[in-house]
Structure 1
Amino acid sequence: MTTTRVAQIEVRDPGRFDEVVGEVAVASPDEIDRIVREADAAAAAWARAGVDARAEALLSAARDFDAVDDALAELLTRENGSVLAVSQREVSLVPHLLRMAVDLGLGALAEPAVEDATVSLRRRPYGVVACIVPWNAPVVLALQKVGPALIAGNTVIVKPSPNAPLAVTRILERIAAHLPAGVLSVVNGGGEVGSALVVHPAVRKVSFTGGEAVARQIMVLAADSFTRVHFELGGNDPAIVLDDADVPAAAEAIVSHAFRRSGQVCYAIKRVYVPRRRLDDFADAAFAAMDRFVVGHGLDPDATMGPVNNAAQFERVRRLHDGLRERGVRVETGGVRLDPAGWDRGWYVQPSLVRGADPRDEVVTTEQFGPILPIVAYDQEADAVAHANGTEYGLCSSVWSSDLDRARGIAEQLEAGITFINEHALSPAGRRALPFGGVKRSGIGWEGASAGIDEYLQFHGIQVAEAAR
């Protein structure tokens, strides 16, 4: 008898990459086809169940996560490198994101869009939705898709990143246990598994968060069948500091937002524009804030910054550093190495600033996705706005000023999905009210708010002839 070996992916700890955290089985083509067909078979009944029944199932799943599972948080840290406090926060958001999706979905689907004697308009789900999520915040980024898609009446198949599939797979399987069979599934593997989902004829929409190169591949694959796509792509978020800003406070906050998750956040601040006469004051304050980071393994209670996730990210940041130094650019590295002896066992990078960066340099015009922050001097506000808008990115941005009206005036000129004033993160009110997504090459479509529900719905209109009344 011949035994067929199932391909496995080893998941290694980015802080101790000689340690295997776990393994996942790579879904075979036959398994992908079976799971998609099961989702397709379950779609009609899930849609007919009605929004109230779907809401109750999702609320039941939410209650299952009201107590934070520390083991899941530790697993997440060991596979994606974030410090434990960040992973605990991410896991704690599971019930919140499910409940928010329910609230928004009940509002969106409570009443007919249009209803009178001759015309009616309904919103309907697509059917099977494939969600492809990255490694940097896999739980949150999956739930921001799964909750809205499910409450809208779709069935969902999630493909996590092979760099961090373990915690999110377990969480999604626990949610799926509260739902009818076939409504929520997970498949693991690399790009070949994602491609198989995209081209499957029963998949009606693909929602992807990640990089532009993969999104372009998905668009090409989806074109043959005109499969709908939703993309949340990279950002190169600018922060503009005005000359009336509280420099120490702005520097502290900007550093915090720039270096969270070791800079591996799509809408982290990735470049800062500062009035030339205040450049050194800002850079000094920013370095002092950055220098307090303690870099080490995410499970070490003293660590405030973990490693980058993988070799590709590590090499990209190192290449940026080397290129800048070869040209004589001032790169200031800070932070504390928590375990110097074990430094080479992980993808550790100390945080750094580029003081007085050239606005045309690669470290400014592209997304670094690592702990390096360029600071660019400007002479006129119009120059800062032009530089901020001068890339093909347009995810988020921020303006820092003591004059809110003045800051709003600058914010109105920026090309971004969201512009923050004196902060650079979504508040609870912002998550509920503001659609999250990018303009230009930072995405197609929206997540969050009611627009995030609409991404998973399509219109169906009915018109009755006047003579038939």
Structure 2
Amino acid sequence: MSTTTMQNEVVGHVIGGERAPADRTFEVRNPSRTAEVVGVVADGTAADAVRAVDAAAEAAGAWAATSIAERVERLRRIADAVDAHAEQLIDLATRENGSIVATIRREVAASADSFRHVADYLSRVLVPKEFAGQTAGESVHVERRPYGVVACIVPWNAPVLLTANKLAPAIAAGNAVVLKPSPFAPLAVSLLAALAADVLPPGVVNIVNGDADVVRALVDDARVRKVSFTGGGATAKHVMRQAADSLLPVHFELGGNDPAIVLADADLPVTADRIVLSAFRRAGQVCFATKRVYVQRGVADEFARLLVERVDRMVVGDAQDERSDMGPVNNTGQFARVTELLERTRAAGRDVRILGSKLDEAAWGGGHFLLPAVVLDARQNDEVVREEQFGPILPVVVVDDEEEAVRYANDTEYGLCSSVWSASRDHALDVAARIEAGVTFVNSAMFSETGAREIPMGGWKQSGIGWEGSPYGIDEYLQFHSVDVHALPDSGSAS
């Protein structure tokens, strides 16, 4: 199966190792230049999903029986294939997703690393455990086994990396996968998954593009033993309701409304720099981007000045242009949602600052471009504070003390990530210990190199169910099987 001409042909499904034809298709457009069609993709049906499950179910048993050494070797080959196709992946992802090319380069490199990281820890995680019994002839054997067929549903905001973060542990655990990309960014994901499919036995990785009909068919199929979904809470609730009929296990990595607590002793210039990087990366379309800031009153004016100064330096333009600091939002719906939220925030009388500059005024109307916005006098109960914006808007709330900041930070249905900013490590750790979230960063809102490898990513409350990444992430794709051997009574005769 060729993977080198995806930009020049209909991107079909991959089912059982073969490129499947499409009865219907949809176009994927460039959010920087909406007149440009980046690719044409097969629009899958429920029947396509069932055929993909057929192929996965047929492949699952043999794949589960492969040795750890073989799986490790294939994971490393997939990583090498991603590296070899990096430029094509970068081009596709930048043009369909809208994140600036520097961000996409890092994403593609991290995707290859995801397969290598799982390969590094796999043998340690999968080694069975043996326990001697209290009586001769008794023993306990505890091992981890795959589910069989797993459905993985990925979003559009960081599609390549989020796909790798599901595929790598799922196949390493011995499962066969049916992958359903987002219609808003399916091209690079389809290429990545096709690269993996080429390295693996037919049917271990299958790809079906499409919409909610495909998802419903996957969740309804009794041969699918687990669903892993990254995306919005509303969609997750639909999946969970449907999964409840068969008690199908689910893994959800959902949205966040991540707070940043800026304490009075914070290094304000560094804090402003790093919060801007987090809040406006991918035009704010990151589940763990900083989405609200709580700053202590004594330093609020200076912090606001530094924040506005830094955001105003940002240049917004075509994602492929190296001069752009921020690209467009991904799609028409997201553009409308963010624009309307800004309008309602202004109508509420808030001090909304539209900052930054346009790289190319003439091209501005041809893409889903928004300048970054800062709300300097936000209140805790404002919509822009309580809801996940998922766009280039950052509200700032002034608080009297750190107790109020922690109370406001926790006053939310979300609990994905958070950050604390202080010159004192001990002070920051004390505040971090009181925050209700899966991850709390100190003096950053991004993962360190070690954190990216070792931290299980997931959320409290309505930010998710289960964990992804790190050696703990493979747990979502494994189940226990134990054998408890009892001795027979000594009959005095040989058997």
Q: C-alpha displacement at 1:428, in angstroms? A: 2.2
Q: Secondary structure at the match of 2:83?
A: coil
The reply on whether 1:236 has 2:252 as its aligned counterpart is no
Counterpart-to-counterpart distance in 2, 1:86 and 1:287: 23
Counterpart-to-counterpart distance in 2, 1:381 and 1:214: 35
**Among candidates 95, 100, 111, match of residue 94 of structure 1:** 111
Corresponding residue of 2:156: 135
Q: Alpha carbons of 1:123 and 1:246: their partners in 2 closer, same or farther (altered >3 Å)?
A: same
Q: C-alpha displacement at 1:461, in angstroms? A: 1.3
Corresponding residue of 1:55: 72
Q: Render the CA deviation track for 1:244-270: whole Å, top value 9, x for unaligned.
A: 001111011111111100000000000
Q: Secondary structure at the match of 1:162?
A: coil
**Among candidates 459, 469, 472, match of residue 448 of structure 1:** 469
Counterpart-to-counterpart distance in 1, 2:131 and 2:204: 29
Deviation larger for 100-109 or 254-263: 100-109
**Among candidates 234, 238, 241, match of residue 220 of structure 1:** 241
Corresponding residue of 1:209: 230
Gaps (5+ residues) in structure 2?
1-20, 491-495
Deviation larger for 54-63 or 438-447: 54-63
Q: Secondary structure at the match of 2:291?
A: strand
Letter of the 1:34 counterpart: R
What TM-score does the superposition give when structure 2 sets the normalisation length? 0.92
Deviation larger for 394-403 or 110-119: 110-119
Segments of 4+ moved more than 4 angstroms: 113-116
- Write the mapping of 1:302-381 to structure 2, written as runs, cut at 5 A: 302-381=323-402
- Write the mapping of 1:131-170 to structure 2, written as runs, cut at 5 A: 131-170=152-191
The reply on whether 1:22 has 2:43 as its aligned counterpart is no
Q: Secondary structure at the match of 2:472?
A: helix
Letter of the 1:129 counterpart: V
Q: Is the 8 A contact 1:104 1:449 kept in 2?
A: no
Corresponding residue of 2:286: 265
Q: Secondary structure at the match of 1:450?
A: coil
Q: C-alpha displacement at 1:220, in angstroms? A: 1.0
Letter of the 2:402 counterpart: E
Q: C-alpha displacement at 1:319, in angstroms? A: 1.1
Q: Render the CA deviation track for 1:69-126: whole Å, top value 9, x for unaligned.
A: 2222111111010111111111122221101111222210134275653221111100
Q: C-alpha displacement at 1:5, in angstroms? A: 7.3
Q: Is the 8 A contact 2:22 2:44 kept in 1?
A: no
Q: Is the 8 A contact 1:68 1:92 kept in 2?
A: no
The reply on whether 1:417 has 2:438 as its aligned counterpart is yes
Counterpart-to-counterpart distance in 2, 1:97 and 1:304: 26
| Count of residue pairs the alignment pairs up | 466
Counterpart-to-counterpart distance in 2, 1:388 and 1:467: 59
Counterpart-to-counterpart distance in 2, 1:70 and 1:431: 23
Corresponding residue of 2:49: 32
Q: Render the CA deviation track for 1:10-65: whole Å, top value 9, x for unaligned.
A: 10111111221111111232222111011011111111112211111111121223
Q: Is the 8 A contact 1:294 1:303 kept in 2?
A: yes
Deviation larger for 83-92 or 266-275: 83-92
Q: Is the 8 A contact 1:115 1:121 kept in 2?
A: no
Q: Secondary structure at the match of 2:229?
A: strand
Q: C-alpha displacement at 1:468, in angstroms? A: 5.7
Q: Is the 8 A contact 1:334 1:351 kept in 2?
A: yes
Q: Secondary structure at the match of 1:455?
A: helix
Corresponding residue of 2:267: 246
Corresponding residue of 1:288: 309
Letter of the 1:454 counterpart: D
Letter of the 1:176 counterpart: A
Letter of the 1:260 counterpart: R
Paired-residue identity, %: 50
Q: Secondary structure at the match of 2:79?
A: helix
Q: Alpha carbons of 1:44 and 1:171: their partners in 2 closer, same or farther (altered >3 Å)?
A: same
Letter of the 1:32 counterpart: A
Counterpart-to-counterpart distance in 2, 1:375 and 1:191: 37
Q: Secondary structure at the match of 1:410?
A: helix
Letter of the 1:215 counterpart: A
Counterpart-to-counterpart distance in 2, 1:206 and 1:311: 28
Q: Alpha carbons of 1:5 and 1:270: their partners in 2 closer, same or farther (altered >3 Å)?
A: closer
Q: Render the CA deviation track for 1:261-317: whole Å, top value 9, x for unaligned.
A: 000000000000001121111111011111111101101221110000011111111
Q: Is the 8 A contact 2:31 2:95 kept in 1?
A: yes
Counterpart-to-counterpart distance in 1, 2:364 and 2:215: 34
Q: C-alpha displacement at 1:467, in angstroms? A: 3.2
Q: Is the 8 A contact 1:15 1:346 kept in 2?
A: yes
Q: Secondary structure at the match of 1:349?
A: coil
What TM-score does the superposition give when structure 1 sets the normalisation length? 0.97
Gaps (5+ residues) in structure 1?
none
Q: C-alpha displacement at 1:128, in angstroms? A: 0.4
Q: Render the CA deviation track for 1:410-430: whole Å, top value 9, x for unaligned.
A: 000000001010011112211
Q: Is the 8 A contact 2:180 2:207 kept in 1?
A: yes
Deviation larger for 212-221 or 20-29: 20-29
Q: C-alpha displacement at 1:327, in angstroms? A: 1.9
Deviation larger for 234-243 or 278-287: 278-287
Corresponding residue of 2:4: none
Counterpart-to-counterpart distance in 2, 1:59 and 1:156: 18
Deviation larger for 66-75 or 286-295: 66-75
Corresponding residue of 2:426: 405
Q: Is the 8 A contact 2:121 2:471 kept in 1?
A: yes
Q: Alpha carbons of 1:467 and 1:383: their partners in 2 closer, same or farther (altered >3 Å)?
A: same
| CA RMSD, 1 decimal | 1.4
Letter of the 2:178 counterpart: I
Q: Alpha carbons of 1:75 and 1:66: their partners in 2 closer, same or farther (altered >3 Å)?
A: closer
Counterpart-to-counterpart distance in 2, 1:113 and 1:57: 28
Q: Render the CA deviation track for 1:186-238: whole Å, top value 9, x for unaligned.
A: 11001111111111111000000000000000001111111110000000000
Q: Is the 8 A contact 2:254 2:463 kept in 1?
A: yes
